[in-house]
Structure 1
Amino acid sequence: MADETSTKTRTMRLGMCEVCAAKEACYACPKCEVKTCSLPCVQIHKKELNCDGQRDRTKFVPLNEMTSREFMSDYCFLEECTRYAENRKSDPCKRFTHDQRNLPVTQHRMRMAAKKRNINLRLQLENFSRHKENTTFLNWKLGRFHWRVEWLFANIPCEASLPRNIVRFVDEECNEELTLSDLVVKYVDLQHETARDQRKLLANHQTAGIGQLSFWLRAEGVRRSSTRCYLLDSTKTLGENLVGRTIVEFPTILVTYEPKPPGGYEAIDSSEEFEEEQEEDLPVTKPGPSSNAVAEDLDDSHDVYYKLAAAFAGEDVSETEDDEEFEEIYKQRVVL
């Protein structure tokens, strides 16, 4: 009899079923807290509310509503987070967490060859998508770079429905000894099949002609690099245009038919990049007192200390001794 009474009290506490509203509720969904009376009602509520029935372990619960169940759930959740972090540390893809690592021979040769050309080549970690896509290689025998170049043709007509009105093309191997005009001519000159295939998207660039195009290298390694670029010379080779620049894996070049950067970009000069890197390297110094103020503080501190030392030794303060060595040591300690 007592068991029946306790069961009835427990079910009455949940109220009526919120699905059929015909019977007393026996269950409460751990996630959405919908009260149900049977398995069919549980399945109906999951289907209608798109509920998986699993408790949201990160849901905010006021402290006055916390029970032992919530505390144990939070404790187990923290243990799972700890195990996940430990497993990620042992993941082979996460072995290298900094750029100063032992590079393979081919990548080391590429970086050193770029350094001789005054190009700051930065290679990302193995698991980065940009590193996986990179097809740049160095012909060691000829001493020649073959760059992977990402071309971004800007100012595409709005009806193309492209993000930022930019269309992207990629060349897997671009000889560094060729000029920019020679590399991009296959997209502009209608005598090439690629240009004819892209006639709809690149109509404005092809109408302007190769001589009217302007080239902009997307900046890397500077503040707001995603919206800054350098002006390139179309008559110079690709290698000459990359001198003094920072390249992450491979260069990204924007092509426009106007003598100004594409919309959303601003031009930057190499000298500005150098100044910004210098500013980042400078240590932050706090303003300190002037030399005169320091000298006055030393004199005041010395007088107080000398009087205390004389009183401790039982000497008369009026009879001062000229202890130059003691004074010099004390000043040095105060400065430190």
Structure 2
Amino acid sequence: MQDTQQICQICFTEPSKYKCPACTTQTCSLPCIKLHKAQSQCSGIQDTTKYIPRTDFEKDGEGERMLQRDYNFLSGLGRELQVRKDDVKSKNKRILQSGSNSYGNKRQNRNAPPANYNSEDGTFKQTTLIKRGVNVKILPKGMSRAFQNKSYFDKRSSEFMWTLEMIMVDAENGEVLNSGINWKCSECTKVRDTINDKLRVTFGLPERQKKEATEADTQTQTQTQTQISQPNCQPSEELHYFLKMIDTPQNKPVLKYLDPTKPLGEVLKGESVIEFPTLIVSTQREIKGAWSELVEPVEEESSSDSGDDSSGSSEES
């Protein structure tokens, strides 16, 4: 009769071939393994934290097996820690790379330094790109404004979609009332339509327009919708738009008035922005306080007049 230690402890007929890592039960085949797990409620996974008496460790063949078990446990723990470290590093790299707009979505080498990095003195060179006639100054990767920039070129419509920072200010004292970002604004959009529905809610415009629209009983539903979508349809609610000029003192910003009836791409042509334009919105043409420095746009009719050009350039400087 065969030794009971070498016979399958489930069917008791065939010689054992396998040993359960969890409870060392000897089995002969896959059906016996499954039956053993079902009967004994055994997981089949070795508990690496289970206490082992010294007497069991000193048994013949058990000491080497226990030592191999501990070695495998420590090796697996080290591998798991290394994998988690690598995952954190790669995730941080993806966050930084997604935050900076590459204007073309070209694949870049992750280990290579940024193109605007000066290795000699450890500073960043300011890169300027010309997009649709606008001088766009690119910030280093990881900066908040670079992360917010989602501007892109829409191939389907052949239009450049700008990210716009909109700031509503009080014309009486120049205090910032509210601000928001229009993440997707076509270059063909008129300046007066750059405030989308979400920003109208932020600036408190929809409620005021809807209230006056309901009081006009003689208007049709179409006219009501037009009044709601255009905040400057009433003279008392006319909004004025300005472009915040760059390379000016922080405590004395300079604004340029924008024609609300012209497309966004037309009024931005030839201007300079940092990552994306910043538009100042006010209920009056003249703003007091810190925003009082104003540059008037040069009209096309006066472009031939050298005197007007010289005066315009002196104001801009």
Bin for the TM-score computed over the shorter chain: 0.3 to 0.5
Report which structure shows greater RCO (CA 8 Å, sep ≥6). Answer: 2
| Structure with greater proportional strand content | 2
| Structure with greater proportional helix content | 1
